Amino acid sequence: MEEELINIKNTAMSFILESENLESLEEVKQQFLGKNGKLTLALKDISKLPKEKRPEIGKLANEVKLTIEETIKEKVAQLGKLEYKKEEIIDITLPGIKPSLGHLHLITQAIEEISAIFEKIGFTRVRYPEVEWDWYAFTALNFPQNHPARDDWETFFVKQKPNLKKGSVLLTPHTSSGQIREMERKKTPPIKMLNIAKCYRRQSDVSHTPMFHQFEGLVVDKNISITHLKGTLDYFVRSYFGQNRKSRIRPYHFQFTEPSFEVDVSCGVCEGKGCKLCKAGWLEMGGAGMVHPNVLRFGGIDPKKYIGFAFGWGVERVVMMKEGLEIDDLRLLYSNNLDFLEQF
Ligand code: DAH
């Protein structure tokens, strides 16, 4: 009997210690202390022992029972803590880790804003190839074959055999190349195009990036005059820079427009009076003009029937002007420097 009790204790102890959760511990408890548990049955057998043996065995049996109960209690506490901990790990009430949210690039935001302004007055946004033929970028825009512009514009040429009709392959140096492409696409006016695209020139310093953006407007229709151009420029300047801003055109020269103009915007700081930020109240913005008859002809449009106006400005430039940004090095815009980009 004594041996049996010791045996029961040892097996119970090892089962209890090996239990991995409260359920299996409960099973072990039933197996030993339950109604038909091993220890319960053994205790019943004590009454069958000779009288003189009973106190000694009874005492031992009680000790065994107490030990098993104690050990079970300790194990319950230990497992309970574990289960509590597990819950803690998946506490769904804890705030999650927020994924960081990006935003559109400063220039993309401006492109969207500029597009929306022109779409309101009926311009259609188009895109044309970044890798372009000389024909669209220069020749059809009335640049004579040996015109120094091809050098002046510091164009990137692509190493590829020139096409007999369209000439060399290059990275488009300005959005004006879209003018001819749009005339070819539409065939007959009216044309109201807004071409916003990447442009490339061999320039890289604090105020120039080799890749930049321009937005180009082209309107071709019957009875178009300079007043339409001026009205469009005024509308854009007011919508983009603010209602109190004005535009001004000055004579200039471009190959593809006649007459040609430089467009200025009244200074937002001194409101046209003149300050150290501007030139006597005006800021230079970009080019514009009435489409040269040769350009219409190259685009397949009869210059006797139709007249056009065009303008082309730099997106980066208008953004800097509008925001009053003084960026030490413009190349930062395309540098992947998050500390810089996240400010906008
Ligand atoms: N293409 C010119 C440039 O890149 C800008 C320009 C001037 C565009 C006059 C025009 C224009 O449409 O009419 O500097």
The alpha carbon of 277 and the centre of ligand 1 are apart by a number of angstroms equal to 24
Q: What is the 3-state secondary structure (H, E, C) of 48-79?
A: CCCHHHHHHHHHHHHHHHHHHHHHHHHHHHHH
Question: What pLDDT digit, counting tens, does each position of 166-213 carry?
Answer: 999 999 999 999 999 999 999 999 999 999 999 999 988 988 999 999
Q: Are 29 and 170 part of one and the same domain?
A: no
Whether the CB of 216 sits within 6 Å of ligand 1: yes
Assigned domain for 267 exists = yes
Assigned domain for 173 exists = yes
Alpha-carbon gap, residue 65 to 205, rounded angstroms = 89
Per-residue pLDDT at 147: 79
Whether the CB of 311 sits within 6 Å of ligand 1: yes
Q: Are 36 and 116 part of one and the same domain?
A: no
Assigned domain for 95 exists = no
Q: Are 224 and 284 part of one and the same domain?
A: yes
Alpha-carbon gap, residue 248 to 156, rounded angstroms = 33
Q: Are 126 and 224 part of one and the same domain?
A: yes
Q: First CA to last CA across the chain, in angstroms?
A: 86
Ligand 1, atom 13, lies closest to the CA of: 288
Per-residue pLDDT at 297: 98
Of the three residues 24, 54, 88, the one that is the final residue of a domain is 88
Query: Domain tally for the chain?
Result: 2
CA neighbor of 110 nearest in space, from 289, 327, 320: 320
Q: Are 55 and 187 part of one and the same domain?
A: no
CA neighbor of 230 nearest in space, from 169, 285, 185, 289: 289
Q: Are 186 and 304 part of one and the same domain?
A: yes
Mutate which of 152, 176, 256 to test ligand 1's pocket (most atoms within 8 Å of Cβ)?
A: 176
Of the three residues 88, 119, 137, the one that is the final residue of a domain is 88
Of the three residues 31, 53, 88, the one that is the final residue of a domain is 88
Question: What pLDDT digit, counting tens, does each position of 11-22 carry?
Answer: 998 999 898 888
Assigned domain for 130 exists = yes
CA neighbor of 290 nearest in space, from 316, 323, 322, 251: 251
| Segments forming the whole domain that contains residue 59 | 2-88
Q: Are 67 and 112 part of one and the same domain?
A: no
Residue 215, strand partner residues: 196, 313
The three-class DSSP label of residue 273 is coil
308: domain CATH number is 3.30.930.10
Ligand 1, atom 8, lies closest to the CA of: 312
Per-residue pLDDT at 259: 98
Q: Are 40 and 178 part of one and the same domain?
A: no
Quick check: 15 and 8 in contact, CB under 8 A? no
The alpha carbon of 313 and the centre of ligand 1 are apart by a number of angstroms equal to 7
Question: What pLDDT digit, counting tens, does each position of 137-154 carry?
Answer: 999 999 998 877 677 668
Residue 84 has pLDDT above 80, yes or no: no
Quick check: 246 and 234 in contact, CB under 8 A? yes
Q: How does strand 191-200 pair with strand 124-126?
A: parallel
Alpha-carbon gap, residue 235 to 260, rounded angstroms = 19
Residue 43 has pLDDT above 70, yes or no: yes
- The dihedral through the CA atoms of 174, 179, 185, 190 has a sign that is positive
Ligand 1, atom 7, lies closest to the CA of: 287
Q: Are 78 and 113 part of one and the same domain?
A: no
Q: Are 155 and 280 part of one and the same domain?
A: yes
Alpha-carbon gap, residue 301 to 183, rounded angstroms = 7
